[in-house]
Amino acid sequence: MSDLVVIVYPTEIKAEEMRKKVFDLQKEFLIEVGDAVIAVKQADGNVKLNQLFNTTAAGAASGGLWGLLIGLVFLNPLLGVALGAASGAISGALADYGINDNFMKKLSDSLQPGNAALFLLAKKVTGDKVLEALKGTGGTVLKTSLDDSKEKMLREALTAS
């Protein structure tokens, strides 16, 4: 089962630094990340999502490859690439993997302009070692799916000096 953790940071740079730290912990097999997205509240009030995986680009690339192969069969590879890339990009743009985009945008509306929220979907966590690595890094817990005791330990670790 996965747990959702949303931590707010004063800047996008700090949130990106923390996402990198979480990925370093994943390399050490202390945490398994399902998704890690940074939502930034811009000055105009819009929310920008910095996702790890661009589904539109991936869809266009795979669609272009399949279109090329089909186009070769019908002796028109350029048309096949164009149609395949276009259909792949459309299907990629409509796909949503990991944390729901609408949920992230709605929750991020409460942020102050310039602030950033790190959305983490963690599948497996070695709790004590991850909390030790996050100790004193700052941030404010906005929302979690953790039980009360684990959420309290996370809050204490983030604010510890």
CATH number of 3-52+99-159: 3.40.1520
Both structure tokens of 114 = 């310039």
Residue found by looking up tokens 């039980």 in the block: 147
Which pTM value belongs to this model?
Answer: 0.74
What pLDDT digit, counting tens, does each position of 73-127 carry?
777 777 666 766 666 666 655 555 568 888 999 999 989 999 999 999 998 888 8
Q: Quick check: 33 pLDDT over 80? A: yes
* Domain boundaries of the chain, sorted by first residue: 3-52+99-159, 55-94
Rg from Cα positions in the chain: 19
What pLDDT digit, counting tens, does each position of 122-160 carry?
988 888 899 999 999 989 999 999 999 999 999 999 998
What pLDDT digit, counting tens, does each position of 6-19 carry?
999 999 999 999 99
Q: What pLDDT is attached to residue 60?
A: 57
**CA angle, 75 then 80 then 85, to 5°:** 165
